[in-house]
Chain A
Amino acid sequence: MPKLRIIGDSFSWIADDDTNSRQWPLQLVNKLSYELDNRSMIGCSQDYTWYWLHQERTNISPDDQLVIVMTSPNRYWLFEDRPDLTNPATLSLFTDPKYANIAETYFKHIQRPDMDYMAVKNRLGWLNNAATVNNWKPPLIIFAFAQSYGLDSEYPRLKFSKGSLTEDVSNAEQADPFVAQLFRGRDPRYNHLCLCNHDILAEKIYKSLIEETTLDLTQGFYKGMLDNNTLRSDMLVKNELSPRLYKEYLNTFENSKWEKFIKTMDKGFFNDE
Protein backbone atom coordinates (compact mmCIF):
# COMPACT_ATOMS: atom_id res chain seq x y z
CA MET A 1 0.00 0.00 0.00
CA PRO A 2 1.39 3.44 -0.86
CA LYS A 3 2.27 5.67 2.02
CA LEU A 4 1.13 9.14 2.89
CA ARG A 5 4.36 10.52 4.30
CA ILE A 6 3.74 13.60 6.42
CA ILE A 7 6.58 15.53 7.95
CA GLY A 8 6.17 18.83 9.70
CA ASP A 9 5.73 20.62 13.00
CA SER A 10 2.88 20.92 15.49
CA PHE A 11 0.41 21.53 12.67
CA SER A 12 0.72 17.89 11.66
CA TRP A 13 1.90 16.16 14.84
CA ILE A 14 -0.37 13.49 16.33
CA ALA A 15 -0.06 12.23 19.87
CA ASP A 16 0.34 8.48 20.11
CA ASP A 17 -2.36 8.26 22.73
CA ASP A 18 -4.86 10.61 21.10
CA THR A 19 -6.15 9.31 17.83
CA ASN A 20 -9.26 11.39 17.31
CA SER A 21 -10.16 10.43 13.77
CA ARG A 22 -11.09 14.00 12.83
CA GLN A 23 -7.47 15.17 12.98
CA TRP A 24 -6.69 16.17 9.42
CA PRO A 25 -3.81 13.70 8.77
CA LEU A 26 -6.07 10.81 9.82
CA GLN A 27 -8.99 12.02 7.73
CA LEU A 28 -6.72 12.54 4.76
CA VAL A 29 -5.10 9.12 4.87
CA ASN A 30 -8.54 7.57 5.18
CA LYS A 31 -9.81 9.39 2.11
CA LEU A 32 -6.70 8.41 0.11
CA SER A 33 -6.67 4.82 1.36
CA TYR A 34 -2.93 5.11 2.00
CA GLU A 35 -0.85 3.99 4.94
CA LEU A 36 0.14 6.89 7.18
CA ASP A 37 3.78 7.56 8.05
CA ASN A 38 3.79 10.74 10.13
CA ARG A 39 7.18 11.99 11.38
CA SER A 40 6.09 15.42 12.57
CA MET A 41 7.45 16.99 15.75
CA ILE A 42 6.16 19.87 17.81
CA GLY A 43 8.43 22.90 17.64
CA CYS A 44 10.90 21.48 15.13
CA SER A 45 12.85 23.40 12.51
CA GLN A 46 13.00 23.05 8.76
CA ASP A 47 16.47 21.53 9.18
CA TYR A 48 14.96 18.73 11.25
CA THR A 49 12.34 18.13 8.55
CA TRP A 50 14.94 18.02 5.81
CA TYR A 51 17.20 15.81 7.88
CA TRP A 52 14.40 13.27 7.95
CA LEU A 53 13.85 13.67 4.20
CA HIS A 54 17.54 13.03 3.54
CA GLN A 55 17.48 9.95 5.75
CA GLU A 56 14.30 8.54 4.21
CA ARG A 57 14.98 9.57 0.62
CA THR A 58 15.76 6.09 -0.64
CA ASN A 59 12.72 4.57 1.11
CA ILE A 60 10.19 6.90 -0.53
CA SER A 61 8.63 5.20 -3.52
CA PRO A 62 7.09 6.86 -6.60
CA ASP A 63 3.66 5.68 -5.38
CA ASP A 64 3.98 7.48 -2.05
CA GLN A 65 2.75 10.99 -1.43
CA LEU A 66 4.88 13.45 0.50
CA VAL A 67 3.15 16.22 2.43
CA ILE A 68 5.55 18.67 4.05
CA VAL A 69 4.23 21.13 6.58
CA MET A 70 6.83 23.85 6.31
CA THR A 71 7.47 25.50 9.61
CA SER A 72 8.92 28.94 10.23
CA PRO A 73 12.32 29.43 8.57
CA ASN A 74 13.73 31.26 11.58
CA ARG A 75 13.60 28.21 13.80
CA TYR A 76 17.06 26.70 14.27
CA TRP A 77 17.99 23.18 15.33
CA LEU A 78 20.47 24.34 17.95
CA PHE A 79 21.14 21.20 19.96
CA GLU A 80 20.96 17.74 18.48
CA ASP A 81 19.12 16.18 21.39
CA ARG A 82 16.46 18.93 21.50
CA PRO A 83 15.12 19.38 17.97
CA ASP A 84 11.92 20.77 19.51
CA LEU A 85 13.54 23.84 21.12
CA THR A 86 14.27 26.02 18.14
CA ASN A 87 13.11 29.58 18.65
CA PRO A 88 13.23 32.44 21.16
CA ALA A 89 9.79 31.59 22.49
CA THR A 90 11.12 28.29 23.84
CA LEU A 91 14.06 29.68 25.82
CA SER A 92 12.22 29.29 29.11
CA LEU A 93 11.72 25.59 28.39
CA PHE A 94 15.44 24.75 28.61
CA THR A 95 16.10 22.97 31.86
CA ASP A 96 19.73 24.15 31.89
CA PRO A 97 20.02 27.96 31.80
CA LYS A 98 23.45 27.64 30.19
CA TYR A 99 21.86 26.32 27.02
CA ALA A 100 19.11 28.91 27.13
CA ASN A 101 21.84 31.55 27.20
CA ILE A 102 23.66 29.98 24.24
CA ALA A 103 20.43 29.88 22.28
CA GLU A 104 19.53 33.46 23.14
CA THR A 105 22.99 34.62 22.08
CA TYR A 106 22.61 32.87 18.75
CA PHE A 107 19.21 34.41 18.04
CA LYS A 108 20.35 37.84 19.12
CA HIS A 109 23.67 38.10 17.27
CA ILE A 110 23.89 35.55 14.50
CA GLN A 111 20.53 34.62 13.05
CA ARG A 112 19.23 36.89 10.29
CA PRO A 113 16.48 36.69 7.67
CA ASP A 114 18.83 36.67 4.67
CA MET A 115 20.42 33.44 5.82
CA ASP A 116 17.06 31.90 6.63
CA TYR A 117 15.73 32.81 3.18
CA MET A 118 18.77 31.36 1.43
CA ALA A 119 18.45 28.13 3.38
CA VAL A 120 14.76 27.85 2.43
CA LYS A 121 15.67 28.14 -1.25
CA ASN A 122 18.41 25.54 -0.89
CA ARG A 123 16.01 23.15 0.83
CA LEU A 124 13.33 23.58 -1.82
CA GLY A 125 15.93 23.24 -4.57
CA TRP A 126 17.12 19.99 -3.04
CA LEU A 127 13.53 18.73 -2.73
CA ASN A 128 12.65 19.62 -6.31
CA ASN A 129 15.81 17.86 -7.44
CA ALA A 130 15.17 14.77 -5.30
CA ALA A 131 11.58 14.53 -6.57
CA THR A 132 12.88 14.66 -10.14
CA VAL A 133 15.76 12.22 -9.69
CA ASN A 134 13.61 9.73 -7.76
CA ASN A 135 10.44 10.20 -9.83
CA TRP A 136 8.28 11.04 -6.82
CA LYS A 137 4.77 12.40 -7.09
CA PRO A 138 4.98 16.17 -6.70
CA PRO A 139 5.47 16.76 -2.96
CA LEU A 140 2.88 19.07 -1.44
CA ILE A 141 4.28 21.93 0.62
CA ILE A 142 1.79 23.31 3.14
CA PHE A 143 3.02 26.52 4.71
CA ALA A 144 2.60 26.46 8.46
CA PHE A 145 3.82 30.05 8.52
CA ALA A 146 3.92 32.65 5.76
CA GLN A 147 7.45 32.94 4.39
CA SER A 148 9.44 34.04 1.36
CA TYR A 149 10.63 31.27 -0.93
CA GLY A 150 10.72 32.80 -4.39
CA LEU A 151 8.18 31.89 -7.03
CA ASP A 152 6.22 28.65 -7.37
CA SER A 153 7.43 28.46 -10.97
CA GLU A 154 11.03 28.10 -9.78
CA TYR A 155 10.14 24.67 -8.41
CA PRO A 156 8.06 22.93 -11.09
CA ARG A 157 8.13 19.55 -9.33
CA LEU A 158 6.62 20.91 -6.12
CA LYS A 159 3.11 21.98 -5.19
CA PHE A 160 2.63 24.85 -2.75
CA SER A 161 -0.29 25.91 -0.64
CA LYS A 162 -1.71 29.35 -1.23
CA GLY A 163 -1.68 30.99 2.18
CA SER A 164 -0.54 29.52 5.47
CA LEU A 165 -2.04 27.60 8.35
CA THR A 166 -1.06 30.14 10.99
CA GLU A 167 -2.04 33.40 9.37
CA ASP A 168 -5.02 32.28 7.30
CA VAL A 169 -6.60 29.53 9.37
CA SER A 170 -5.40 29.19 12.97
CA ASN A 171 -5.16 32.85 13.92
CA ALA A 172 -8.35 33.60 12.03
CA GLU A 173 -10.28 31.23 14.29
CA GLN A 174 -9.84 33.70 17.12
CA ALA A 175 -11.89 36.79 17.60
CA ASP A 176 -8.89 38.19 19.45
CA PRO A 177 -5.82 37.82 17.21
CA PHE A 178 -3.29 37.57 20.05
CA VAL A 179 -2.78 33.85 20.30
CA ALA A 180 -0.65 33.75 23.43
CA GLN A 181 -3.02 36.00 25.33
CA LEU A 182 -6.00 33.86 24.52
CA PHE A 183 -4.45 30.43 25.10
CA ARG A 184 -1.83 31.46 27.68
CA GLY A 185 0.77 29.36 25.89
CA ARG A 186 -1.37 26.22 25.86
CA ASP A 187 -3.34 25.80 22.69
CA PRO A 188 -6.24 23.42 23.41
CA ARG A 189 -6.83 22.65 19.73
CA TYR A 190 -5.54 19.70 17.77
CA ASN A 191 -2.76 21.10 15.57
CA HIS A 192 -3.83 24.68 16.41
CA LEU A 193 -7.07 24.20 14.51
CA CYS A 194 -10.67 23.64 15.56
CA LEU A 195 -11.98 20.30 14.41
CA CYS A 196 -14.46 21.87 12.00
CA ASN A 197 -11.46 23.28 10.16
CA HIS A 198 -9.69 19.92 10.30
CA ASP A 199 -12.61 18.59 8.27
CA ILE A 200 -12.26 21.35 5.72
CA LEU A 201 -8.48 21.11 5.54
CA ALA A 202 -8.53 17.35 5.01
CA GLU A 203 -11.04 17.71 2.18
CA LYS A 204 -9.09 20.55 0.57
CA ILE A 205 -5.81 18.62 0.66
CA TYR A 206 -7.54 15.53 -0.69
CA LYS A 207 -8.99 17.47 -3.61
CA SER A 208 -5.70 19.18 -4.23
CA LEU A 209 -3.92 15.84 -4.52
CA ILE A 210 -6.59 14.04 -6.52
CA GLU A 211 -7.60 16.87 -8.84
CA GLU A 212 -4.13 18.42 -8.99
CA THR A 213 -5.44 21.81 -7.97
CA THR A 214 -3.91 24.46 -5.74
CA LEU A 215 -4.45 24.02 -2.02
CA ASP A 216 -6.08 27.32 -1.09
CA LEU A 217 -5.84 28.10 2.63
CA THR A 218 -7.08 31.66 2.25
CA GLN A 219 -10.78 30.89 2.04
CA GLY A 220 -13.46 28.39 3.00
CA PHE A 221 -12.50 27.99 6.68
CA TYR A 222 -14.53 28.87 9.78
CA LYS A 223 -13.36 32.07 11.43
CA GLY A 224 -13.69 34.08 14.62
CA MET A 225 -15.28 31.43 16.83
CA LEU A 226 -12.79 31.54 19.71
CA ASP A 227 -12.64 34.07 22.51
CA ASN A 228 -12.51 34.02 26.30
CA ASN A 229 -16.23 33.30 26.51
CA THR A 230 -16.56 30.59 23.91
CA LEU A 231 -13.53 28.84 25.38
CA ARG A 232 -15.75 28.18 28.39
CA SER A 233 -18.57 26.74 26.27
CA ASP A 234 -19.10 23.04 26.87
CA MET A 235 -20.46 22.61 23.36
CA LEU A 236 -17.46 24.21 21.72
CA VAL A 237 -15.01 22.34 23.90
CA LYS A 238 -16.71 19.05 23.15
CA ASN A 239 -16.99 19.57 19.40
CA GLU A 240 -13.86 21.45 18.52
CA LEU A 241 -11.04 20.94 20.99
CA SER A 242 -8.80 18.22 22.36
CA PRO A 243 -10.06 17.15 25.83
CA ARG A 244 -6.52 16.46 27.00
CA LEU A 245 -5.12 19.73 25.72
CA TYR A 246 -8.09 21.65 27.07
CA LYS A 247 -7.40 20.23 30.51
CA GLU A 248 -3.79 21.37 30.23
CA TYR A 249 -4.99 24.76 29.05
CA LEU A 250 -7.15 25.17 32.16
CA ASN A 251 -4.20 24.14 34.33
CA THR A 252 -2.00 26.89 32.90
CA PHE A 253 -3.85 29.45 34.98
CA GLU A 254 -2.37 27.85 38.06
CA ASN A 255 1.03 27.11 36.59
CA SER A 256 3.70 29.66 37.33
CA LYS A 257 6.00 28.39 34.57
CA TRP A 258 3.48 29.38 31.96
CA GLU A 259 2.76 32.64 33.68
CA LYS A 260 6.48 33.38 33.34
CA PHE A 261 6.32 32.34 29.71
CA ILE A 262 3.48 34.75 28.99
CA LYS A 263 5.22 37.60 30.77
CA THR A 264 8.33 36.99 28.69
CA MET A 265 6.23 37.01 25.53
CA ASP A 266 4.71 40.32 26.59
CA LYS A 267 8.07 41.89 27.32
CA GLY A 268 9.84 40.76 24.19
CA PHE A 269 12.97 38.63 24.42
CA PHE A 270 15.44 41.00 22.94
CA ASN A 271 14.46 44.10 24.75
CA ASP A 272 17.78 45.23 26.18
CA GLU A 273 16.29 47.39 28.87
Chain B
Amino acid sequence: MTNKLWVFGDSFSFLFEGDKSERIWLLQAASKLNYSIVNYSLRGCSQDFTWQVMQQEKDKITPDDQVLVVLTHPSRYWLFEEEPDHTIPRLFKEEKPGVDSRIKAAELFFRYIQRPQLDVLSVINRLGWLDHTATRNGWKKPLVVLGFGQYYGEDSDFPGLKFSYGDLTSISMDENEDNKDASLFNGAEPRYNHLCLSNHDILAEKIYDTLANDEKLDLTTGFKKGVFNKTTARSRNLAEKEFSLALHLGFLNATN
Protein backbone atom coordinates (compact mmCIF):
# COMPACT_ATOMS: atom_id res chain seq x y z
CA MET B 1 0.00 0.00 0.00
CA THR B 2 1.98 3.02 -1.21
CA ASN B 3 -0.69 5.38 -2.44
CA LYS B 4 -2.09 7.85 0.01
CA LEU B 5 -5.45 9.32 0.89
CA TRP B 6 -4.64 12.91 1.90
CA VAL B 7 -7.36 14.23 4.18
CA PHE B 8 -7.74 17.90 5.06
CA GLY B 9 -10.68 18.87 7.22
CA ASP B 10 -12.25 19.58 10.59
CA SER B 11 -13.91 17.47 13.29
CA PHE B 12 -15.83 15.48 10.69
CA SER B 13 -12.56 13.84 9.67
CA PHE B 14 -10.40 14.26 12.77
CA LEU B 15 -9.13 11.00 14.30
CA PHE B 16 -8.53 10.68 18.01
CA GLU B 17 -5.28 9.04 19.00
CA GLY B 18 -6.01 5.87 20.96
CA ASP B 19 -9.77 5.96 20.49
CA LYS B 20 -10.42 4.52 17.10
CA SER B 21 -13.11 2.24 15.81
CA GLU B 22 -12.36 0.48 12.57
CA ARG B 23 -15.86 1.57 11.55
CA ILE B 24 -14.85 5.25 11.39
CA TRP B 25 -15.72 6.31 7.85
CA LEU B 26 -12.26 7.51 7.00
CA LEU B 27 -10.62 4.25 8.05
CA GLN B 28 -13.22 2.16 6.25
CA ALA B 29 -12.98 4.20 3.05
CA ALA B 30 -9.17 4.11 2.99
CA SER B 31 -9.21 0.37 3.60
CA LYS B 32 -11.69 -0.29 0.81
CA LEU B 33 -9.66 1.87 -1.57
CA ASN B 34 -6.35 0.40 -0.42
CA TYR B 35 -4.87 3.78 0.53
CA SER B 36 -2.79 4.70 3.53
CA ILE B 37 -4.08 7.80 5.31
CA VAL B 38 -2.32 11.11 5.77
CA ASN B 39 -4.75 13.07 7.89
CA TYR B 40 -4.36 16.80 8.54
CA SER B 41 -7.76 17.37 10.08
CA LEU B 42 -8.17 19.57 13.12
CA ARG B 43 -11.28 19.99 15.22
CA GLY B 44 -12.72 23.49 15.07
CA CYS B 45 -10.37 24.73 12.38
CA SER B 46 -11.15 27.17 9.59
CA GLN B 47 -10.87 26.75 5.85
CA ASP B 48 -7.79 28.95 5.97
CA PHE B 49 -6.02 26.44 8.20
CA THR B 50 -6.98 23.63 5.85
CA TRP B 51 -5.64 25.53 2.87
CA GLN B 52 -2.44 26.53 4.58
CA VAL B 53 -1.66 22.89 5.32
CA MET B 54 -2.56 21.91 1.76
CA GLN B 55 -0.31 24.62 0.36
CA GLN B 56 2.53 23.35 2.54
CA GLU B 57 2.00 19.70 1.60
CA LYS B 58 1.04 19.96 -2.06
CA ASP B 59 4.42 19.01 -3.46
CA LYS B 60 4.32 15.68 -1.62
CA ILE B 61 1.04 14.64 -3.23
CA THR B 62 1.44 12.40 -6.29
CA PRO B 63 -0.93 11.71 -9.20
CA ASP B 64 -1.60 8.26 -7.73
CA ASP B 65 -2.78 9.72 -4.43
CA GLN B 66 -6.25 10.98 -3.63
CA VAL B 67 -7.06 14.28 -1.92
CA LEU B 68 -10.20 14.53 0.18
CA VAL B 69 -11.20 17.88 1.66
CA VAL B 70 -13.90 18.24 4.30
CA LEU B 71 -14.95 21.82 3.75
CA THR B 72 -15.77 23.37 7.08
CA HIS B 73 -17.98 26.37 7.71
CA PRO B 74 -16.81 29.42 5.73
CA SER B 75 -17.52 31.83 8.57
CA ARG B 76 -14.85 30.31 10.81
CA TYR B 77 -11.84 32.58 10.92
CA TRP B 78 -8.27 31.75 11.93
CA LEU B 79 -7.72 34.81 14.08
CA PHE B 80 -4.54 33.99 15.99
CA GLU B 81 -1.76 31.88 14.57
CA GLU B 82 -1.22 29.71 17.66
CA GLU B 83 -4.95 28.97 18.00
CA PRO B 84 -6.13 27.52 14.68
CA ASP B 85 -8.98 25.73 16.49
CA HIS B 86 -10.41 28.96 17.93
CA THR B 87 -12.43 30.20 15.01
CA ILE B 88 -15.93 31.07 16.18
CA PRO B 89 -17.35 33.96 18.24
CA ARG B 90 -18.43 31.99 21.33
CA LEU B 91 -14.82 31.01 22.06
CA PHE B 92 -13.90 34.65 22.52
CA LYS B 93 -15.75 35.90 25.56
CA GLU B 94 -13.97 38.16 27.96
CA GLU B 95 -14.07 37.06 31.58
CA LYS B 96 -12.69 40.42 32.63
CA PRO B 97 -13.79 43.05 30.12
CA GLY B 98 -10.96 45.18 28.83
CA VAL B 99 -8.15 42.95 30.10
CA ASP B 100 -7.43 40.87 27.03
CA SER B 101 -7.18 43.13 23.99
CA ARG B 102 -6.95 40.14 21.66
CA ILE B 103 -10.32 38.83 22.80
CA LYS B 104 -11.74 42.28 22.25
CA ALA B 105 -10.24 42.27 18.75
CA ALA B 106 -11.91 38.92 18.05
CA GLU B 107 -15.28 40.19 19.26
CA LEU B 108 -15.02 43.30 17.15
CA PHE B 109 -13.95 41.29 14.12
CA PHE B 110 -16.93 38.93 14.27
CA ARG B 111 -19.36 41.73 15.07
CA TYR B 112 -18.29 44.39 12.60
CA ILE B 113 -15.95 43.02 9.94
CA GLN B 114 -16.84 39.45 9.08
CA ARG B 115 -19.66 39.08 6.59
CA PRO B 116 -20.91 36.45 4.13
CA GLN B 117 -19.74 38.51 1.16
CA LEU B 118 -16.09 38.09 2.18
CA ASP B 119 -16.58 34.49 3.27
CA VAL B 120 -17.99 33.47 -0.10
CA LEU B 121 -15.28 35.39 -1.91
CA SER B 122 -12.63 33.48 0.00
CA VAL B 123 -14.30 30.09 -0.49
CA ILE B 124 -14.39 30.59 -4.24
CA ASN B 125 -10.75 31.71 -4.34
CA ARG B 126 -9.69 28.69 -2.28
CA LEU B 127 -11.55 26.27 -4.54
CA GLY B 128 -10.04 28.00 -7.56
CA TRP B 129 -6.58 27.45 -6.11
CA LEU B 130 -7.35 23.77 -5.43
CA ASP B 131 -8.75 23.17 -8.90
CA HIS B 132 -5.76 24.90 -10.47
CA THR B 133 -3.24 23.03 -8.31
CA ALA B 134 -4.86 19.64 -8.88
CA THR B 135 -4.99 20.17 -12.64
CA ARG B 136 -1.47 21.49 -12.87
CA ASN B 137 -0.03 18.61 -10.85
CA GLY B 138 -2.04 15.90 -12.58
CA TRP B 139 -3.83 14.81 -9.42
CA LYS B 140 -6.93 12.69 -9.42
CA LYS B 141 -9.89 15.00 -8.93
CA PRO B 142 -9.92 16.05 -5.26
CA LEU B 143 -13.18 15.20 -3.52
CA VAL B 144 -14.69 18.12 -1.64
CA VAL B 145 -17.11 16.89 1.05
CA LEU B 146 -19.17 19.73 2.45
CA GLY B 147 -18.97 19.72 6.23
CA PHE B 148 -21.59 22.45 6.27
CA GLY B 149 -23.97 23.67 3.59
CA GLN B 150 -22.48 26.71 1.88
CA TYR B 151 -22.46 28.67 -1.36
CA TYR B 152 -19.43 28.24 -3.60
CA GLY B 153 -20.76 28.99 -7.08
CA GLU B 154 -21.40 26.20 -9.57
CA ASP B 155 -19.70 22.80 -9.71
CA SER B 156 -18.96 23.59 -13.36
CA ASP B 157 -16.75 26.51 -12.28
CA PHE B 158 -14.33 23.93 -10.92
CA PRO B 159 -14.10 21.10 -13.45
CA GLY B 160 -11.06 19.63 -11.72
CA LEU B 161 -12.94 18.99 -8.48
CA LYS B 162 -15.71 16.66 -7.30
CA PHE B 163 -18.24 17.95 -4.80
CA SER B 164 -20.63 16.18 -2.48
CA TYR B 165 -24.31 16.81 -2.95
CA GLY B 166 -25.50 17.78 0.50
CA ASP B 167 -23.47 18.13 3.67
CA LEU B 168 -22.39 16.18 6.72
CA THR B 169 -23.96 18.51 9.27
CA SER B 170 -27.41 17.70 7.92
CA ILE B 171 -26.75 13.97 8.36
CA SER B 172 -25.47 14.61 11.84
CA MET B 173 -28.49 16.66 12.87
CA ASP B 174 -30.97 14.21 11.34
CA GLU B 175 -29.61 11.43 13.56
CA ASN B 176 -31.14 13.26 16.47
CA GLU B 177 -34.85 12.57 16.81
CA ASP B 178 -35.18 16.03 18.30
CA ASN B 179 -33.34 17.28 15.24
CA LYS B 180 -32.85 20.93 16.01
CA ASP B 181 -31.94 20.44 19.66
CA ALA B 182 -28.24 21.20 19.26
CA SER B 183 -27.87 21.52 23.04
CA LEU B 184 -28.51 17.82 23.61
CA PHE B 185 -24.84 16.99 24.02
CA ASN B 186 -23.98 20.14 25.93
CA GLY B 187 -20.69 20.42 24.04
CA ALA B 188 -19.70 16.81 24.87
CA GLU B 189 -20.33 14.99 21.60
CA PRO B 190 -20.32 11.19 22.09
CA ARG B 191 -20.15 10.29 18.39
CA TYR B 192 -17.07 9.78 16.28
CA ASN B 193 -16.99 12.73 13.86
CA HIS B 194 -20.53 13.77 14.88
CA LEU B 195 -21.95 10.68 13.18
CA CYS B 196 -23.38 7.41 14.47
CA LEU B 197 -21.36 4.37 13.44
CA SER B 198 -24.15 3.02 11.25
CA ASN B 199 -23.87 6.20 9.20
CA HIS B 200 -20.08 5.89 9.16
CA ASP B 201 -20.63 2.57 7.36
CA ILE B 202 -22.92 4.20 4.82
CA LEU B 203 -20.66 7.22 4.30
CA ALA B 204 -17.60 5.04 3.77
CA GLU B 205 -19.42 2.96 1.17
CA LYS B 206 -20.64 6.07 -0.63
CA ILE B 207 -17.17 7.58 -0.68
CA TYR B 208 -15.78 4.35 -2.00
CA ASP B 209 -18.34 4.37 -4.82
CA THR B 210 -17.50 7.98 -5.60
CA LEU B 211 -13.76 7.49 -5.77
CA ALA B 212 -13.63 3.98 -7.22
CA ASN B 213 -16.61 4.13 -9.56
CA ASP B 214 -16.90 7.87 -10.22
CA GLU B 215 -20.38 8.07 -8.75
CA LYS B 216 -21.84 11.26 -7.35
CA LEU B 217 -21.44 11.52 -3.58
CA ASP B 218 -25.02 12.08 -2.48
CA LEU B 219 -25.26 12.95 1.20
CA THR B 220 -28.96 13.74 1.05
CA THR B 221 -30.32 10.19 0.90
CA GLY B 222 -29.62 6.73 2.28
CA PHE B 223 -28.53 7.71 5.78
CA LYS B 224 -30.18 6.64 9.02
CA LYS B 225 -32.27 9.30 10.74
CA GLY B 226 -33.69 9.58 14.24
CA VAL B 227 -31.15 7.16 15.69
CA PHE B 228 -31.30 8.64 19.19
CA ASN B 229 -33.10 11.13 21.34
CA LYS B 230 -32.58 12.83 24.66
CA THR B 231 -33.27 9.61 26.56
CA THR B 232 -31.66 6.94 24.38
CA ALA B 233 -28.51 9.01 23.95
CA ARG B 234 -27.70 8.07 27.56
CA SER B 235 -28.15 4.35 26.94
CA ARG B 236 -25.06 2.16 27.23
CA ASN B 237 -26.61 -0.25 24.78
CA LEU B 238 -26.94 2.37 22.07
CA ALA B 239 -23.53 3.78 22.87
CA GLU B 240 -21.92 0.41 22.24
CA LYS B 241 -23.51 0.24 18.81
CA GLU B 242 -23.25 3.82 17.65
CA PHE B 243 -20.92 5.98 19.75
CA SER B 244 -17.39 6.16 21.04
CA LEU B 245 -17.53 4.68 24.52
CA ALA B 246 -14.85 7.04 25.76
CA LEU B 247 -16.67 10.07 24.37
CA HIS B 248 -19.97 8.75 25.68
CA LEU B 249 -18.53 8.59 29.17
CA GLY B 250 -17.50 12.22 28.83
CA PHE B 251 -20.99 13.07 27.65
CA LEU B 252 -22.59 11.35 30.66
CA ASN B 253 -20.26 13.16 33.02
CA ALA B 254 -20.91 16.50 31.39
CA THR B 255 -24.68 16.14 31.47
CA ASN B 256 -25.15 14.62 34.93
**Chain A residue contacts of B102, Cβ below 8 A:** 109
Interface stretch among B4-12, B119-127, B215-223?
Answer: B119-127
Task: Count A interface residues, CB 8 Å.
Answer: 35
In the complex the two chains form, what is the Cα distance from A68 to B87 in whole Å? 32
Q: Can you name the residue of chain A whose Cβ is closest to the Cβ of B160?
A: A129
Which of A50, A78, A118, A127 is the one whose CB lies under 8 Å from B51?
A: A118
B132 and A125 form a contact (CB under 8 A): yes
The smallest C-beta distance from B196 to any residue of chain A, in angstroms, reads 35
Q: Can you name the residue of chain A whose Cβ is closest to the Cβ of B107?
A: A105
In the complex the two chains form, what is the Cα distance from A130 to B158 in whole Å? 9
A80 and B108 form a contact (CB under 8 A): no
A94 lies within 8 A of chain B by Cβ: no
A114 and B52 form a contact (CB under 8 A): yes
A126 and B118 form a contact (CB under 8 A): no
Most B-side CB within 10 Å, residue of A106, A114, A125: A125
A127 and B52 form a contact (CB under 8 A): no
B126 and A122 form a contact (CB under 8 A): yes
A79 and B112 form a contact (CB under 8 A): yes
Which of A99, A110, A154 is the one whose CB lies under 8 Å from B79?
A: A110
Q: Which of A56-80 contact B (CB under 8 A)?
A: 77-80
Tally A-B pairs: CB < 8 A: 95
A119 lies within 8 A of chain B by Cβ: yes
**Chain A residue contacts of B108, Cβ below 8 A:** 102, 105-106
**Chain A residue contacts of B106, Cβ below 8 A:** 109-110
B112 and A126 form a contact (CB under 8 A): no
B55 lies within 8 A of chain A by Cβ: yes
**Chain B residue contacts of A54, Cβ below 8 A:** 121, 124
A216 lies within 8 A of chain B by Cβ: no
B85 lies within 8 A of chain A by Cβ: no
A270 lies within 8 A of chain B by Cβ: no
A110 and B109 form a contact (CB under 8 A): yes
Which of B117, B122, B132 is the one whose CB lies under 8 Å from A119?
A: B122
A207 lies within 8 A of chain B by Cβ: no
B101 and A109 form a contact (CB under 8 A): yes
A156 lies within 8 A of chain B by Cβ: yes
- Assuming A51-B117, A79-B112, is B124 touching A126 (CB within 8 A)? yes
**Chain B residue contacts of A156, Cβ below 8 A:** 136
A129 and B128 form a contact (CB under 8 A): yes
Query: Interface code A104-118, partner B: CB below 8 Å = 1, 0 otherwise?
Result: 011011101011001
- Assuming A106-B105, A106-B109, is B130 touching A125 (CB within 8 A)? yes
Q: Can you name the residue of chain B whose Cβ is closest to the Cβ of A48?
A: B121
**Chain A residue contacts of B118, Cβ below 8 A:** 47, 77
In the complex the two chains form, what is the Cα distance from A119 to B136 in whole Å? 19
In the complex the two chains form, what is the Cα distance from A55 to B113 in whole Å? 21
B115 lies within 8 A of chain A by Cβ: yes
A133 lies within 8 A of chain B by Cβ: yes
A128 lies within 8 A of chain B by Cβ: yes
A121 lies within 8 A of chain B by Cβ: yes
- Assuming A114-B52, A126-B129, is B117 touching A80 (CB within 8 A)? yes
In the complex the two chains form, what is the Cα distance from A124 to B136 in whole Å? 13
The smallest C-beta distance from B115 to any residue of chain A, in angstroms, reads 6
B78 and A129 form a contact (CB under 8 A): no
Q: Can you name the residue of chain B whose Cβ is closest to the Cβ of A128?
A: B132
A123 lies within 8 A of chain B by Cβ: yes
Which of B109, B125, B159 is the one whose CB lies under 8 Å from A50?
A: B125
The smallest C-beta distance from A61 to any residue of chain B, in angstroms, reads 17
The smallest C-beta distance from B158 to any residue of chain A, in angstroms, reads 7
**Chain B residue contacts of A119, Cβ below 8 A:** 122, 125
**Chain A residue contacts of B124, Cβ below 8 A:** 54, 126
B104 lies within 8 A of chain A by Cβ: yes
- Assuming A106-B109, A112-B81, A115-B48, is B129 touching A133 (CB within 8 A)? no
In the complex the two chains form, what is the Cα distance from A77 to B48 in whole Å? 17
Which of B55, B136, B160 is the one whose CB lies under 8 Å from A121?
A: B55
In the complex the two chains form, what is the Cα distance from A119 to B78 in whole Å? 12
In the complex the two chains form, what is the Cα distance from A26 to B201 in whole Å? 63
Q: Can you name the residue of chain B whose Cβ is closest to the Cβ of A76?
A: B113
Besides A99-B112, A105-B108, A129-B158, 5 new A-B residue pairs in contact (Cβ under 8 A), listed by A number: A54-B121, A106-B105, A109-B80, A126-B127, A129-B131
- Residues of B whose CB lies within 8 Å of any CB of A are 48, 51-52, 55, 78-81, 101-102, 104-106, 108-109, 112-113, 115, 117-118, 121-122, 124-133, 135-136, 157-160
Enumerate the 9 nearest inter-chain pairs by beta-carbon distance, A residue then B residue, closest first.
A126-B128, A125-B129, A109-B105, A122-B125, A129-B132, A125-B132, A122-B129, A126-B125, A129-B128
- Residues of A whose CB lies within 8 Å of any CB of B are 47, 50-51, 54, 77-80, 99, 102, 105-106, 108-110, 112, 114-115, 118-119, 121-130, 132-133, 154-156
Supply 10 A–B pairs (Cβ within 8 Å), ascending by A. Answer: A47-B121, A54-B124, A78-B112, A105-B101, A110-B80, A115-B78, A118-B52, A119-B125, A132-B135, A156-B136
